[in-house]
Amino acid sequence: MRFKRTLIAALLASTMLSATGGYFAARAAGKDFPMPAANPPAAVQAPLVQPNVHPGFADLVEKVKPAVVNIATTEKIEAGRNRGPGSGSGQPPQNLEEFFRQFMEQQQQQRGPRHALGSGFIIDPAGYIVTNNHVVDGAAKIMVKLEDGNEYAATLKGRDEKTDLALLKIDAKRPLPYVAFGDSDAARIGDWVLAVGNPFGLGGTVTAGILSARGRDLNNGPYDSFLQIDAPINPGNSGGPIFDATGRVIGISTAIYSPNGGSIGIGFGVPANMAASIVEQLKSNGQVQRGWLGVSLQPMTETMAKALNLPKSPDGKVAGVLVNGVQDDSPALKAGLRQGDVLTALNGTGLRDGRDLATRVAALKAGENAALTYWRDGKEHVARVEVGKQPTERTADAAADTGEAKVGLSLAPLNPQLRERLGLQGGKGGAVVAEVEPASKADESGVRPGDVIVGVAGQPVRDPDQAVSAIREAQHQKREAIPLLVMRDGTTYYLALQLT
């Protein structure tokens, strides 16, 4: 054993002498020779990164989570409800599709009430709660559950289908924890975000991710400009807040992209900067009033830009929108705009496309002056436009000022886009049914959204105002029902609108 230890020591000494001897011999010859490392690395290592000392999101979650609520709704399906011609009216189904639709409705009626779950957040200590319109749409009863377990019946203060937002109110008899809107335009791609909600009915759940993109168009409506996030959101998260790292609400969870119904890391939210003004109007007026120009538009293409000698924007892209129609008696017509003009800027800020223009005009107030830059005959011009009041849905409910029973019917004017979609000639009048309240007199009478009312009580109607006046007059006369002449799918029907 002693011999072995001596031999090993000798071998080690020999190795060291060989290495150092080589080094000194090289230096004597005027050559560079690297000293051997004590622990030579197996591979080149990347520079060390300082460990993340961020404490996580616990403090932020503790701060904001009490203001996030769970929402449960109940929709009562009335057995035997008449949904119009061919559905409970004694008429046979017209085709196989209609047959299966009626069959599924009957099955749903037999099941009784339907229930839905969603999320929301308290935006005011007095008990105002923001959520999605689709969470409460058609709800006969809305219940709100706070983080402390207390539950309250909620009142729907207002909703906006075009942005999928709704405002609820609960009376908790005490100030409630609340959160505030932040600046969604200041949020940058890659910033941390937190989504809080009620996924799959599990209760308050927090997920984290980043802001992935902005300005997403999901073809849900004219004002689509969603934030995209990768923080997991699932069914039940709808209406829940999306927070930035400071605890401000920069978005409202609204939709997911998923082939299987669950989160795959692509979720969408309504930007806070859009939601804040909508919520304020719902709180003040119960409805949303948007600015209006009265133009129909089409996208600008490279070929069309060349044909019109339209210069490109500073970033080298084709920008602006082509006016393909100007409505009669509209702010645009009064400002001198014409078919064929190319709108390039609003109040000095360039326009990307028609959606950009629609969103920005909608945010303006009626009566406000705006500068519209447009291209015509190879030259740039500027028009001063007094923004109009967007034609809004008119309610045929007389209860607000006459005490009559509610009809549950909302009407909208016929504009060129609706005429084109419905296949109506330009000269025909009427009022489009924009909404039918579930279980209302209109619903029981078989009136459907999308119907065009062209006659009330045997008299033709030009617009929603005339239709509303005719219905109110019939209510004043204490009539039990009146005939409505409606156009549906290119066919004219008579429906009896129940008034009592």
Active site residues: 134, 164, 238
- DSSP annotation of 108 reads H
Taking the C-alpha atoms of residue 335 and residue 345, their distance in angstroms, rounded to an integer, is: 15
Helix (H) or strand (E) holding 213: strand 205-216
Tell me how far CA of residue 306 lies from CA of 93, 310, 311, 312, 317, in angstroms.
53, 6, 8, 10, 12
Taking the C-alpha atoms of residue 111 and residue 407, their distance in angstroms, rounded to an integer, is: 26
Q: Which two tokens stand for residue 375?
A: 């291209």
Written as one letter, the residue type at 391 is: P
Tell me how far CA of residue 177 lies from CA of 122, 127, 180, 378, in angstroms.
7, 9, 11, 58
| Closest CA relative to residue 200, chosen from 117, 114, 113, 115 | 117
Written as one letter, the residue type at 191 is: D
| Closest CA relative to residue 271, chosen from 248, 254, 253, 251 | 251
- DSSP annotation of 261 reads S
Tokens 């029907």 found at? 493
- DSSP annotation of 92 reads P
Helices assigned H by DSSP within 219-345: 272-285, 302-307, 331-334
| Closest CA relative to residue 198, chosen from 145, 243, 152 | 145
